[in-house]
Amino acid sequence: MKRFCNIFAVLAVVAAASSCLAKKGNSPFRSNYSIMDYSESEMGSIYLFEPVMAVVLARDADVYLALTDEEKENYDTSERFPEGLRHIDANSINIPGLASIYSDGGRFDTPGAEWTVRANPYALTMWNYSYRGSHYYEAYHYGSTTYYPVKVQVKCVSAGKWTVTSRSFDDDAMAFAEDQITVSLDSDTGESSSYTVVSAGRADEDDGLHAECGTSGDGVRLRYSMGTVESPGEESAAVMRVRMLKPYSGKFCVTFYRGNEQVDHCYITYTEDSAEYDVSVD
């Protein structure tokens, strides 16, 4: 097992699609790092980070859309939307460079509500964990990675609990099957909010390879907050508000197969201060 400091600074929900699960054997690209990277960057994005960010953005949009026209005129968008905010229509908004949120006309926390969050492509630098397989074993595949927008449909099943029911790309470059993702709001202090994700799913790739993943036990808990980072300039550092997302409890497991044969695994245990990786390759 290896232990690493695990702190995530997340600014956007973005997806990249490519196909490069590796062949077990003597490939120089099959390594401890590549297995960890695909497991967390690829599968973790799909089944942990993106679902929470979709709920976070929809909750923020819900607060704004529920305001009266006069209240919207006086609303300080910098608190929840440091990227800015644009109106699509009466029930939908766009966060420039990040995502568009489409409501069904009702409140997001109402049982039966179905909202759509469509993330913008090409914002890769704003999302730490969004490389869809682009640097698994075949790391040389970087140059031909293609990025697509992600569409996440979220349904409220009870107050403070949502299911991510579907996800699709503009191009069918990568297939997903058996997605089961539930996001629950645990707490919201105003300064930060905590969520639990319970998920399971599968990603199919070339050459008969696929990855299966899921959370263990009661799921993985993540904490969201708005923070600040400094961007060094020539004369002085600019302070930017950023979206912070950090898993702090729970276990996320990814197992790789060729057909019915298990070829690799990565089991990630999150704690408040670190993440521990149990990987099939030393």
Tens of pLDDT along 38-85?
888 778 888 898 889 999 999 999 999 999 999 999 999 888 898 899
Using the predicted structure, report yes or no on whether residue 251 has a pLDDT greater than 90. Answer: yes
Helix/strand/coil for 59: helix
CA angle centred on 268, ends 267 and 270, rounded to 5°: 150
**Structure-token match 């993540």, residue found:** 222
Please, how many CA atoms are within 13 Å of residue 223, restricted to the half-sphere of its CB? 17
**Residue 29's pLDDT band (cuts 50, 70, 90):** low
E-only strand ranges, 92-235: 92-95, 99-102, 114-119, 146-148, 151-158, 161-168, 175-188, 192-204, 209-215, 220-231
What mean pLDDT value characterizes the chain?
77
Domain of 66?
Answer: 2-279
The amino acid sitting at 13 is V
**Are the CB atoms for 7 and 246 separated by under 8 Å?**
yes
Q: In angstroms, rounded to a whole number, what is the distance separating the alpha carbons of residues 126 and 9?
A: 9
Q: How far is CA 243 from CA 12, 54, 121, 126, in A?
A: 8, 12, 17, 10
Q: In angstroms, rounded to a whole number, what is the distance separating the alpha carbons of residues 54 and 114?
A: 12
What pLDDT does 210 receive? 82
Domain count, the chain: 1
Q: In angstroms, rounded to a whole number, what is the distance separating the alpha carbons of residues 140 and 18?
A: 12
Rg (CA), the chain: 19
Using the predicted structure, report yes or no on whether residue 129 has a pLDDT greater than 70. Answer: no
Q: In angstroms, rounded to a whole number, what is the distance separating the alpha carbons of residues 54 and 245?
A: 12
Q: Which residue has the higher pLDDT, 228 or 94?
A: 94
What pLDDT does 233 receive? 63
Q: In angstroms, rounded to a whole number, what is the distance separating the alpha carbons of residues 253 and 243?
A: 25
% of the chain surpassing 70 pLDDT: 70
The closest alpha carbon to 14, from 169, 190, 208, belongs to: 169
Q: Which of 45-59, 120-134, 182-196, 222-236 has the highest mean pLDDT?
A: 182-196
> pLDDT tens across 165-200, in order?
766 555 444 444 456 899 999 999 988 999 999 999
